[in-house]
């Protein structure tokens, strides 16, 4: 840490909210080590850093969910004790999360005013609906204040969250990955709403992994790494390269670049695949030994296509063929029987059983193969199989019987990959395989994908990390809002062209 | 970039009110109750006699009160299996007190019964909200604990009609007013009044909305600064209070009270709530819905014995089937309605985007 | 590791409690340590502890089955009714078991295919199957079974052990092996921890749940028939309220109400504790109702105690407590059947 520690001179006047030397530990993990951050009225301040940098811990400290071990939060220069979320909110600190935290059964206006309905014991519905309508109009959204929240889209629910913050006379608005589930159009609108809030004097803290958005929206950018404050600079003084350098702590070496080689015959062929409300008319082939990238913004329907191929949710129409044979896939089990495997993007929710051991997780999809006489699990065979992957993927764990839950994110991700490799699939779909894992683990995953393709596996790589997709793929299919915008190969494999297709710029 | 506010907002409004799930549920239920009564009146001679209706109304009062209490708890995404025992304890202790002090006035007796119920409900609430027990475990436990405490206290004694003050014995026959040839019993009127007040309170007071908010999304409720513990404890205590009041009515209705009083009422109450459209997922359902559920169950319960081909032993089987059908319809039809609404929202968003 | 530590800590606690109950029983009665007394101890509650085995499976898989006691009565009533209609008793037994399995199949179908919360489904079952039993036997008490049937409940089969005890130990051993060593057991744990992970791993979760509830009811049916044999008569209200003690034993045994963890060793200790307590109560002349009350206290106490141990073990629970077994999980409710 150098001269950047306290950042450049604040844009205007004194900060509304200051985080001063805050530290927070969980057991032996130091999530935050003496970090500082200033938020000024009217500024949009971005906070970036890799997973584990301490961003979410800081948010929880600022919203009263965690209490710092050392240091404090100051509001208008006075130290405040944020003992509960209610206190933080009463002081004008609000937070919007990636997944909108709405009351699905309640009306929009109730969602907006819950917890601060006004004075008295009674709820004045008409009054509340009117006030809610007013705020929503300011946000340029056409949402009926009386509609039930569960019937809104994610973007609509997010707008309700922003309306909620506005209704509370918010002074500090924290936005934690708010754009992850939005379409391009919805992101635009969100940014306009944020800009309007900032104009009215609100201090906005914007936390995102999407650097292009960070550059677009920020006045200042702060970088955290390993629980420490690294830098705070005006956005104009920051370049993508310098930002990434601050985040990873070293020069970004070139991506692992896969050496493409002649692919074999078609392993998976998809024609006219559609599901209402999710994706329509998707057609492509993947050959053995080939990596087909799936590019597009989050929410463009890539995961939904993968889920249809894997039998999680059936497509309404279209055909799926493996090795020329038309398949009717209605469950993951059937997909697996045809050699299709899917490494999901959501490790905790869909990927791993955290209390179960490393070995048990690895052998889960192919458990049948480890069943010996009388339906019992052959533990030695299981252990041997797990050991192979522990070495091959360099999974760092004290033992194979350790619960997966205690491993680090990167190692959990490797366990998840091992789980599917052990099935020896002919088509392997990776969904965001490197999201949220550290640089070292990332390189390991890239290397593994290369090896798999070389070994004759047909790989589909879904990733929102465009350089990653470009470096790893032979061809790239681009999706936007559920539609296939084209398949790019050879000379067309160009970051700008793909991005333009993904955001819909002609 | 087009300005969204130019789009007409009216269509979404009118469509919403037609398919509002609460309203659909309520109307369906009213229709089912009427249809049931109609069918019975065709099958059974002189079905709607004044005597029968009076008996029916009294029977419904007790279940409906307990069901209203159960609804408070279910809305917060919990369940209370101990209501039957709470009714029993309140009924027995109140009857015992009245038997020993004939001179006690009605308001005091009611107060005692409600107080006992509230205290027991508070215990449930504390177990769930403070000790963090899943409500099914906490109340399955207190179901037997309360009953066992009562049995130990009573030691097998039965309090008979003879030892109770006359005003209490006459309570079931007390009539508020007459409607044609039918008597509207005071007990029923009181229950209906309480249900209406409670229903409105849940819709129009902040505390009522907090119950829904907590049940709808506990995490969001915490974030909104709602006091989760207080809300849960209030719901359980309220459930206990209503069970206590039901206990008082129980004494009036049966006169003879032993230690098994109120056993199994939890099943009828939960059935009434669920049949009345209170979602076991928490966050939705109304008191009047539960009340209608209790009416339907009461009608079936009291009427089946009068159908010659069916024995009284069919009662429980039908109750079980009723809960099952209600949950089945709620989940399948409700899911379909929601899915349709969601798709429409997506389509609208699309139109905006492409338009 | 945390869960391992918790489990062994809890089993240690159970051992201490067990030792205390045994010491109390021994000090109170000299005949306590005889084999006959032990057999008697098991025999008195054998039907309940048989159903404890499938209940452990159900709760580990993140569900709950409140209908077991009613299914016991249902199967016994089917048997008695058939016998009353002059059907051969062997046939009656077979039909009764089939009727129990059917009850489970229906409930399982609702949970597995329709995605209804098992708490509500089996609550409907609790009322419904008891009601079905009542339709068959009404308020009669059906008895006068052939001698061989009554002997099923009392006669010694292997050494001092009667048939029902042999069935219990066989089932228990089977349950133990399934949970600890078999693929099916592994699958149950994963489903209980996170059903979506199981589904995304190619496991047919619906079929597993269907099998789970069918087995639960089938075993309850067996227990109901054994109960009929031991009592010699069948009544509509038999076994009422048994679910309380059955669930209590499972949770006392360290099976998490949130699903995904628990072992048969702990459950076995819990069985022994409850049997010894019951015996001790008998010796101390404590009435049946008080006993039930104490069981309720144990249920609440054991879950609180395990919560406390969890907290002492410095396991910070994620905000938004996990969904208790059988309680509706809104996150999943929407996904099923979509």
Task: Tell me which H or E stretch contains A449.
Answer: helix A439-454
CB A24 within 8 A of CB A66: yes
Instruction: Please give the pLDDT value at position A298.
Output: 66
Kindly state whether B224 is in contact with chain A, defined as any CB-CB distance less than 8 angstroms: yes
Instruction: Please give the pLDDT value at position B346.
Output: 62
| Tens of pLDDT, residues A115-156 | 876 666 788 888 899 999 998 888 878 888 988 888 887 778
Q: Which residue has the tokens 């920051």?
A: A238
Instruction: Please give the pLDDT value at position A109.
Output: 92
Distance from CA of A415 to the nearest CA of C (A): 13
Kindly tell me if the per-residue pLDDT of A254 is higher than 80.
Answer: no
Residue with more model confidence, B342 or A483: A483
Kindly tell me if the per-residue pLDDT of B88 is higher than 90.
Answer: yes
| Tens of pLDDT, residues A465-474 | 777 888 889 9
A464 Cβ contact list (under 8 Å, min separation 6): A295, A296, A297, A298, A432, A435
The percentage of residues in chain A with a pLDDT greater than 90, rounded to a whole number, is 35
Instruction: Please give the pLDDT value at position B355.
Output: 42
Q: Which residues of C touch A431 (CB under 8 A)?
A: none
Q: For C116, which of B134, B267, B327 is closest by C-beta distance? A: B327
Instruction: Please give the pLDDT value at position B208.
Output: 93
Q: Which residues of C touch B339 (CB under 8 A)?
A: 338
Q: Which residues of C touch B143 (CB under 8 A)?
A: 244, 296
Name the interface residues of A facing B (CB cutoff 8 Å).
84-86, 89-90, 95, 101-106, 110, 114-117, 120-123, 125, 137, 140-142, 144, 146-148, 150-153, 155-156, 183, 185-186, 188-189, 276-277, 481
Kindly state whether B335 is in contact with chain C, defined as any CB-CB distance less than 8 angstroms: yes
| Tens of pLDDT, residues B93-109 | 999 999 998 888 899 99
Instruction: Please give the pLDDT value at position A460.
Output: 96
A70 is written with which tokens? 């050392």
Instruction: Name chain A's partners: 3 or more CB pairs within 8 A.
Output: B, C
The percentage of residues in chain B with a pLDDT greater than 90, rounded to a whole number, is 49
- Chain C residues 212-251 with a CB less than 8 Å from chain B: 236, 241, 244, 247-248, 251
Kindly tell me if the per-residue pLDDT of A9 is higher than 80.
Answer: no
Hey, is B33 helix, strand or coil? Answer: helix
Hey, is A288 helix, strand or coil? Answer: coil
Instruction: Please give the pLDDT value at position B342.
Output: 63
The percentage of residues in chain B with a pLDDT greater than 70, rounded to a whole number, is 88
Instruction: Please give the pLDDT value at position B352.
Output: 54
pLDDT band of residue A409 (cuts 50, 70, 90) is confident
Residue of chain C with shortest Cα separation from B156: C289
Hey, is A222 helix, strand or coil? Answer: strand
Compute the mean pLDDT over every residue in chain C, rounded to the nearest whole number.
87
Q: Which residues of C touch A419 (CB under 8 A)?
A: 201
B15 is written with which tokens? 């469509």
Hey, is A17 helix, strand or coil? Answer: strand
Which residue of B11, B197, B225 to mutate against A (max A Cβ within 10 Å)?
Answer: B225
pTM of the model: 0.85
Residue of chain B with shortest Cα separation from C252: B137
Torsional class of A60: left (φ above 0), alpha (ψ -120 to 50), beta (otherwise):
alpha
Instruction: Please give the pLDDT value at position B12.
Output: 39
Distance from CA of A25 to the nearest CA of B (A): 23
Compute the mean pLDDT over every residue in chain A, rounded to the nearest whole number.
85
Instruction: Please give the pLDDT value at position C333.
Output: 35
Per-residue pLDDT of chain C (338 residues; tens, 9 = 90+): 445 555 678 889 899 999 998 888 888 777 777 788 888 888 889 999 999 999 999 999 999 999 999 999 999 999 999 999 999 999 999 999 999 999 999 999 999 988 888 988 999 999 999 999 999 998 899 988 888 888 887 777 777 888 889 999 999 999 999 999 999 999 999 999 999 999 999 999 999 999 999 999 999 999 999 999 999 999 999 998 899 999 999 999 999 988 898 999 999 999 999 999 988 888 788 888 889 999 999 999 999 988 888 777 654 433 334 566 555 554 433 333 22
Q: Which residue has the tokens 């991700």?
A: A413
CB A59 within 8 A of CB A73: no
Kindly tell me if the per-residue pLDDT of B138 is higher than 50.
Answer: yes
Q: Which residues of A touch B353 (CB under 8 A)?
A: 183, 185, 481
Residue of chain B with shortest Cα separation from A60: B223
Residue with more model confidence, B321 or B127: B127
pLDDT band of residue A181 (cuts 50, 70, 90) is low
Instruction: Please give the pLDDT value at position C154.
Output: 75
How many A-B residue pairs are in contact by the CB < 8 A criterion? 115
Q: For A360, which of C1, C186, C194 is closest by C-beta distance? A: C186
Instruction: Please give the pLDDT value at position B354.
Output: 52
| Tens of pLDDT, residues C109-127 | 999 988 888 988 999 999 9
Kindly tell me if the per-residue pLDDT of A32 is higher than 50.
Answer: yes
A465 Cβ contact list (under 8 Å, min separation 6): A434, A435
How many of the other CB atoms lie within 10 Å of CB of B280?
Answer: 23
pLDDT band of residue B143 (cuts 50, 70, 90) is very high
Kindly tell me if the per-residue pLDDT of B256 is higher than 80.
Answer: yes
Hey, is B258 helix, strand or coil? Answer: coil
A105/B284 touch (CB, cutoff 8 Å), yes or no? yes
Q: Residue A53 and residue A59: Cα distance in Å, rounded? A: 12
Residue with more model confidence, C287 or A356: A356
Q: Residue B60 and residue A58: Cα distance in Å, rounded? A: 55
Q: State the virtual CA torsion across A306, A311, A315, A317 in degrees, nearest 10.
A: 110
- Chain C residues 91-110 with a CB less than 8 Å from chain B: 110
B206/A117 touch (CB, cutoff 8 Å), yes or no? yes
Q: For A356, which of C183, C193, C319 is closest by C-beta distance? A: C193
Residue of chain A with shortest Cα separation from B337: A151
Distance from CA of B120 to the nearest CA of A (A): 26
How many of the other CB atoms lie within 10 Å of CB of C317?
Answer: 12
Secondary structure (DSSP) of B109-124: HHHHHHHHHHHHHHHH
pLDDT band of residue A504 (cuts 50, 70, 90) is low
Hey, is A99 helix, strand or coil? Answer: coil
Residue with more model confidence, A465 or B289: B289
Which residue of B206, B210, B230 to mutate against A (max A Cβ within 10 Å)?
Answer: B206
Q: Residue A394 and residue A77: Cα distance in Å, rounded? A: 49
CB B267 within 8 A of CB B140: no
Instruction: Please give the pLDDT value at position A257.
Output: 65
Mean pLDDT of A261-273: 89
């Amino acid at each position: 840490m150098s001269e950047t520690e306290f950042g450049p001179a604040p844009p205007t006047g004194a900060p509304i909210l200051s985080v001063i030397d805050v530290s927070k530990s969980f057991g032996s993990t130091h999530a935050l080590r003496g970090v500082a951050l200033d938020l000024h009225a009217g500024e949009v301040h971005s906070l970036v850093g890799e997973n584990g940098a301490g961003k979410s811990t800081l948010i929880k400290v600022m919203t009263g969910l965690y209490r710092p071990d050392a240091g404090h939060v100051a509001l208008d220069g006075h130290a405040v004790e944020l003992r509960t979320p209610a206190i933080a909110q009463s002081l004008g600190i609000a937070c919007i999360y990636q997944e909108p935290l709405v009351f699905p059964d309640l009306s929009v206006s109730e969602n907006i005013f819950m917890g601060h309905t006004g004075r008295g014991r009674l709820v004045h519905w008409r009054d509340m609906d009117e006030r809610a309508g007013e705020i929503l109009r300011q946000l340029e959204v056409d949402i009926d204040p009386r509609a039930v929240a569960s019937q809104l889209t994610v973007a609509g629910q997010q707008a309700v969250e922003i309306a909620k913050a506005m209704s509370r006379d918010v002074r500090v608005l924290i936005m934690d990955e708010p754009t992850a589930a939005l379409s391009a159009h919805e992101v635009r609108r969100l940014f306009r709403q944020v800009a309007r809030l900032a104009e009215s004097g609100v201090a906005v803290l914007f936390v995102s992994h999407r650097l292009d958005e960070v550059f677009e929206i920020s006045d200042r950018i702060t970088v955290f790494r390993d629980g420490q404050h690294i830098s705070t600079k005006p956005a104009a003084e920051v370049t993508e390269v310098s930002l990434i350098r601050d985040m990873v702590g070293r020069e970004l070496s070139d991506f692992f670049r896969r050496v493409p080689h002649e692919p074999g015959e078609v392993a998976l062929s998809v024609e006219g695949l559609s599901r209402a409300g999710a994706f329509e008319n998707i057609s492509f082939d993947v050959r053995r030994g080939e990596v087909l990238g799936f590019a597009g913004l989050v929410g463009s329907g890539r995961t939904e296509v993968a889920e249809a191929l894997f039998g999680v949710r059936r497509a309404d129409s279209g055909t799926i063929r493996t090795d020329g044979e038309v398949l009717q896939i209605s469950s993951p089990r059937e997909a697996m029987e045809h050699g299709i495997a899917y490494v999901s993007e959501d490790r905790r929710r869909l990927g791993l059983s955290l209390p179960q051991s490393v070995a048990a997780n690895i052998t889960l999809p192919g458990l049948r193969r480890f069943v010996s006489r009388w339906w019992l699990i052959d533990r030695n065979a299981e252990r041997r199989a797990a050991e192979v992957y522990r070495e091959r993927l360099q999974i760092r764990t004290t033992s194979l019987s350790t619960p997966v839950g205690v491993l680090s994110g990167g190692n959990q991700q490797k366990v998840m990959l091992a789980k599917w490799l052990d099935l020896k699939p002919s088509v392997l779909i990776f969904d965001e395989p490197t999201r949220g894992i550290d640089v070292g683990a990332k390189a390991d995953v890239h290397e593994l994908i290369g090896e798999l393709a070389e070994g004759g596996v047909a790989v589909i790589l879904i990733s929102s990390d465009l350089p990653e997709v470009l470096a790893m793929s032979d061809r790239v299919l681009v999706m936007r809002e559920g539609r296939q915008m084209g398949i790019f190969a050879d000379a067309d494999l160009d970051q700008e062209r793909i991005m333009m297709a993904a955001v819909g710029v002609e | 970039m087009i300005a969204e506010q130019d789009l007409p907002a009216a269509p979404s409004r009118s469509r919403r009110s037609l398919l509002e799930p609460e309203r659909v549920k309520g109307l369906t239920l009213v229709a089912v109750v009427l249809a049931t009564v109609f069918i019975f009146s065709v099958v059974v001679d002189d079905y709607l006699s004044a005597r029968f209706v009076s008996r029916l109304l009294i029977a419904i009062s007790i279940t409906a009160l307990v069901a209203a209490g159960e609804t408070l708890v279910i809305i917060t995404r919990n369940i209370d299996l101990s209501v039957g025992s709470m009714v029993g304890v309140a009924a027995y202790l109140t009857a015992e007190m009245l038997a020993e002090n004939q001179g006690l006035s009605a308001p005091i007796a009611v107060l005692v019964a409600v107080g006992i119920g509230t205290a027991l409900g508070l215990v449930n609430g504390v177990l769930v909200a403070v000790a963090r027990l899943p409500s099914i475990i906490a109340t399955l436990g207190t179901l037997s604990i309360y009953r066992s405490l009562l049995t130990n206290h009573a030691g097998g004694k039965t309090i008979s009609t003879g030892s109770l003050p006359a005003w209490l014995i006459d309570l079931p026959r007390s009539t508020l007013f007459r409607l044609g040839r039918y008597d509207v019993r005071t007990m029923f009127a009181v229950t209906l009044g309480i249900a209406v007040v409670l229903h409105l309170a849940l819709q129009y007071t902040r505390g009522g909305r907090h119950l829904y908010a907590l049940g709808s999304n506990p995490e969001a409720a915490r974030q909104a600064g709602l006091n989760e513990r207080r809300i849960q404890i209030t719901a359980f205590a309220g459930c206990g209070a209503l069970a206590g009041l039901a206990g008082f009515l129980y004494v009036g209705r049966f006169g003879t009270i032993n230690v098994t009083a109120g056993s199994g009422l939890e099943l009828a109450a939960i059935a009434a709530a669920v049949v009345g459209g209170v979602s076991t997922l928490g966050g939705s359902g109304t008191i009047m819905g539960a009340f209608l559920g209790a009416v339907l169950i009461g009608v079936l319960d009291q009427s089946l014995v009068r159908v010659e081909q069916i024995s009284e032993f069919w009662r429980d089987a039908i109750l079980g089937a009723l809960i099952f059908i209600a949950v089945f319809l709620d989940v399948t039809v409700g899911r379909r309605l929601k899915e349709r609404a969601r798709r429409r929202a997506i389509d609208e968003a699309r139109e905006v985007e492409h338009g | 590791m945390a869960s391992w530590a918790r489990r062994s800590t809890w089993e240690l606690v159970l051992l201490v409690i067990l030792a205390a109950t045994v010491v109390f029983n021994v000090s109170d009665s000299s005949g306590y340590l005889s084999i006959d007394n032990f057999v008697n101890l098991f025999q008195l509650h054998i039907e309940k502890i048989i159903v404890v085995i499938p209940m452990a499976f159900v709760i580990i898989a993140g569900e709950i089955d409140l209908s077991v006691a009613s299914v016991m009565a249902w199967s016994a009533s089917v048997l008695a009714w058939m016998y009353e209609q002059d059907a051969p008793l062997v046939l009656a037994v077979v039909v009764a078991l089939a009727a129990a399995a059917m009850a489970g199949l229906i409930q399982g179908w609702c949970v597995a295919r329709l995605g209804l919360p098992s708490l509500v489904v089996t609550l409907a079952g609790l009322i419904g199957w008891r009601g079905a039993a009542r339709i068959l036997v009404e308020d009669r008490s059906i008895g006068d079974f052939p001698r061989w049937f009554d002997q099923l409940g009392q006669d010694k089969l292997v050494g001092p052990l009667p048939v029902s005890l042999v069935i219990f130990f066989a089932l228990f051993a089977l349950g133990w092996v399934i949970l600890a060593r078999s693929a099916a057991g592994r699958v149950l744990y994963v489903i209980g921890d996170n059903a979506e992970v199981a589904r995304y791993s190619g496991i047919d979760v619906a079929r597993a749940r269907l099998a789970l509830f069918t087995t639960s009811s089938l075993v309850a049916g067996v227990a109901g028939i054994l109960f009929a044999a031991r009592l010699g008569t069948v009544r509509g209200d038999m076994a009422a309220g048994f679910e309380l003690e059955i669930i209590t034993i499972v949770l006392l045994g360290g099976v998490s109400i949130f699903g995904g963890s628990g072992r048969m060793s702990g459950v076995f200790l819990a069985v022994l504790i409850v049997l010894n307590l019951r015996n001790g109560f008998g010796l101390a002349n404590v009435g049946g109702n008080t006993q039930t009350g104490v069981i309720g206290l144990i249920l609440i106490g054991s879950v609180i105690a395990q919560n406390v141990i969890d907290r002492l073990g410095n396991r910070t629970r994620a905000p938004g407590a996990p969904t208790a077994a059988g309680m509706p999980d809104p996150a999943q409710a929407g996904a099923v059947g979509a």
